[in-house]
Structure 1
């Protein structure tokens, strides 16, 4: 492990860490906003175009060496049609697993289709499986944002922000999908740890608001530790990071009152989007308001800014590339989208993908 020299000072209530050898470098620039990023076995990037900008191509592949891009898994899956629903409608959450499968969380919404999880086998270059999410677990205001692909317990664990179709975050929840049976359950809807707090997103003095109302986003960033023992999560708008043992979260015999008692308040946090983790248990979270990525240190739960860049505008997904050892971060400029700016898109090309070295080796396949 590399040695790091830290200088610490306070910025906006979060400790700033100036770590020698830790810096954000521009990996690539692209013409559309990048949401979340995952990787193939070879370390190539697969990423979602952020759905807030209604992209024509939903998911893209980028060669890690040449930076060449193309639709993923192919053109047909990025082409809506009325004859069938074997296409991607509205994707943000995207993860890989140790079997070379890229899992894409399709929220639907843009097209009249059933929300689903689509698995594409990158080794065989073919569809692995589709898991459909019925209305019972994806109500009108649902917005399934991100997920953990837990191959140890055999579940997809999805964070639902609760802001779909005008939702106010009050029905944010978890969605659990059994990989074997496809059975889906919705739990902890509108409870204390999935609800957003009244902690508005403020960027350079401007509130993130729709029609004059602060947008408060519920259950958002989510990750699991190296052994899938703990699930870490929290609302985007909220000052607390929570964790729960995976076996408790998945235990159908626990009613929600008992389940709530199993949840630990893990640490303080800023308003954040994406979430990742390293093998020492340090959490990495994208800090929307300060163009930065923070780390919650496992040793004492203190919160530090580890990298920042003026062009890291609305850092969204953060994920670890098991091949080159970097954490990758998208800068989606969501706050500059038309919905937050009186119908005028204020985003500026290019859109950036950054990367940096984590404190210790990151956790892959989450």
Structure 2
């Protein structure tokens, strides 16, 4: 996620405190350092031939928005090329601000351009990594996008020919209260916004606390404002029957039948009534589901990746590392590992009285999941 000033919103949604529900019986494994890089990594995805593609975290305004890891695992080259990472007048055929990205089984790498730096209309850019050419661009104009939108993680559903996007609602001027899900049709390009401001998409009234300190930024009144983030993690099961999602700032994971989500005959009230509370969780970033329905999520406050097993649905920490500061996206690779970034956001100057404590190297970690997952998700 990219931090933008937020303010308090309504209280949370029928969930017990996470600390009372966390299961620590199984000892978490130690994640393996896979790559050491000079800039902060946001999210990671893969191509079928095992190329590693990642976003540089937009919080730090990188010149190269999206990169491909070089074989030395210490350097990168712009992806898909330098031109797509270079703003140019008179066109929007470039990447402006990217965090979320996903690869699919056909070798198309999908890039979620939030369009916040220029600004531009948000868009999904599909790059065909096999043929090295543009596959398609899907625009997400108003009313599917709002001025407060911050489109982040998403799901590529080739079965139903849809994208499902989590809009955190903390773009310029946003406080998370208008967070929502956005559905984009792959065939028509039509985009629609659902569950805006619903209790399951907006953030709960709880801070993000790292090393005993709440993350705050100056509010409009000059006083510290606690950061809270709406709909962020999002994933689908292997059969695309269920969509799982959650606000970053919140104690619950929710799920919704995809058949209901894509039913345009359902209004927001009817759709919201079909959402299920799935499990308890801590404040978290990205999601990934393996083939057995185990849900992995990054625990942003604790240098850990957790898992909610399909059996029992009780959260526990799964992989940790002392260098896993602000784990953001988690994604499955064709080499049978899951990969996770560490962006060091809590060490940024904004959260440390103007003194930047973040520094290179920035790590990509990996660990073995309980079961295989879906490439790039």
**TM-score normalised by L of structure 1:** 0.94
Q: Is the Cα–Cα contact under 8 Å of residues 133 and 184 in structure 1 kept in the other structure?
A: yes
User: Shift of residue 140 of structure 1?
Assistant: 1.0
How far apart, in 1, do the equivalents of 2:25 and 2:93 lie? 46
How far apart, in 2, do the equivalents of 1:342 and 1:49 lie? 24
How far apart, in 1, do the equivalents of 2:263 and 2:19 lie? 41
User: Shift of residue 63 of structure 1?
Assistant: 3.8
Gaps of 5+ in 2: 1-17, 219-223
How far apart, in 1, do the equivalents of 2:225 and 2:330 lie? 28
Question: Does structure 1 residue 363 correspond to structure 2 residue 374?
Answer: yes
Aligned to 2:263: 251
Deviation by residue 1:102-123 (Cα, 9 ceiling, x = unmatched): 0000000101322110000000
User: Shift of residue 98 of structure 1?
Assistant: 1.3
Q: Is the Cα–Cα contact under 8 Å of residues 207 and 227 in structure 2 kept in the other structure?
A: yes
Question: Does structure 1 residue 84 correspond to structure 2 residue 91?
Answer: yes
Aligned to 1:119: 126
User: Shift of residue 337 of structure 1?
Assistant: 2.2
How far apart, in 2, do the equivalents of 1:311 and 1:81 lie? 37
Question: Structure with the greater relative contact order (CA < 8 A, sep ≥ 6): 1 or 2?
Answer: 2
Question: Does structure 1 residue 302 correspond to structure 2 residue 314?
Answer: yes
Which of 288, 300, 311 is equivalent to 2:300? Answer: 288
Change (3 A) 1:210 1:166: farther
How far apart, in 1, do the equivalents of 2:71 and 2:155 lie? 24
Deviation by residue 1:133-155 (Cα, 9 ceiling, x = unmatched): 11221111110011001111011
Which of 335, 346, 351 is equivalent to 1:340? Answer: 351
Q: Is the Cα–Cα contact under 8 Å of residues 37 and 73 in structure 2 kept in the other structure?
A: no
Change (3 A) 1:263 1:64: farther
Aligned to 2:159: 152
Which of 24, 44, 57 is equivalent to 2:31? Answer: 24
Q: Is the Cα–Cα contact under 8 Å of residues 171 and 189 in structure 1 kept in the other structure?
A: yes
User: Shift of residue 176 of structure 1?
Assistant: 0.8
User: Shift of residue 338 of structure 1?
Assistant: 3.1
**SS of alignment partner, residue 216 of structure 1:** coil
**SS of alignment partner, residue 14 of structure 1:** coil
User: Shift of residue 64 of structure 1?
Assistant: 5.5
**Alignment RMSD:** 1.6
User: Shift of residue 26 of structure 1?
Assistant: 0.2
Which of 356, 359, 364 is equivalent to 1:353? Answer: 364
Q: Is the Cα–Cα contact under 8 Å of residues 165 and 181 in structure 2 kept in the other structure?
A: yes
User: Shift of residue 83 of structure 1?
Assistant: 2.5
Change (3 A) 1:244 1:201: same
How far apart, in 2, do the equivalents of 1:337 and 1:289 lie? 15
Gaps of 5+ in 1: 1-9
How far apart, in 2, do the equivalents of 1:75 and 1:123 lie? 18
Which of 174, 193, 203 is equivalent to 1:167? Answer: 174
Which of 113, 119, 141 is equivalent to 1:134? Answer: 141
Q: Is the Cα–Cα contact under 8 Å of residues 254 and 279 in structure 2 kept in the other structure?
A: yes
Change (3 A) 1:27 1:135: same
Aligned to 1:6: none
Aligned to 2:221: none
Query: Which deviates the most, 193-202 or 345-354?
Result: 345-354
How far apart, in 2, do the equivalents of 1:189 and 1:343 lie? 34
Question: Does structure 1 residue 94 correspond to structure 2 residue 124?
Answer: no
How far apart, in 2, do the equivalents of 1:133 and 1:342 lie? 37
User: Shift of residue 56 of structure 1?
Assistant: 0.7
Deviation by residue 1:297-335 (Cα, 9 ceiling, x = unmatched): 10010111011111100000100002x100000001112
Which of 189, 192, 196 is equivalent to 1:189? Answer: 196
Question: Does structure 1 residue 311 correspond to structure 2 residue 338?
Answer: no
Aligned to 1:262: 274
Change (3 A) 1:80 1:238: same
Q: Is the Cα–Cα contact under 8 Å of residues 23 and 357 in structure 1 kept in the other structure?
A: no
Change (3 A) 1:59 1:315: same
Change (3 A) 1:78 1:17: farther
Q: Is the Cα–Cα contact under 8 Å of residues 292 and 307 in structure 1 kept in the other structure?
A: yes
User: Shift of residue 166 of structure 1?
Assistant: 2.9
